[in-house]
Amino acid sequence: MANCNKLFLDYNENLTIKKTKRDKLKDSKEVLRTRIRKYFKDKHPEYKPEFYIQGSYKMGTTILTKDNECDLDDGVYFKREADVTATTLQKWVKDALDGATTTPVEHRAKCLRVIYKEDYHIDFPVYIFPEEDDHPSIAVKNNDFEESDPKEVVDWYKEEKSKSDQLNRIVKYLKGWGDHKRNKMPSGLAMTILAAENLITDERDDISLKETLMKIQEVLEADFTCVVPATPGDD
Task: Supply the residues annotated as catalytic.
Answer: 71, 73, 123
The 3 state secondary structure assigned to the chain is CCCCHHHHHHHHHHHCCCHHHHHHHHHHHHHHHHHHHHHHHHHCCCCCEEEEEEHHHHHCCCCCCCCCCEEEEEEEEECCCCCCCHHHHHHHHHHHHCCCCCCCCEECCCCEEEEECCCEEEEECEEECCCCCCCCEEECCCCCEEECCHHHHHHHHHHHHCCCCHHHHHHHHHHHHHHHHCCCCCCHHHHHHHHHHHCCCCCCHHHHHHHHHHHHHHHHHHCCCCCCCCCCCCC
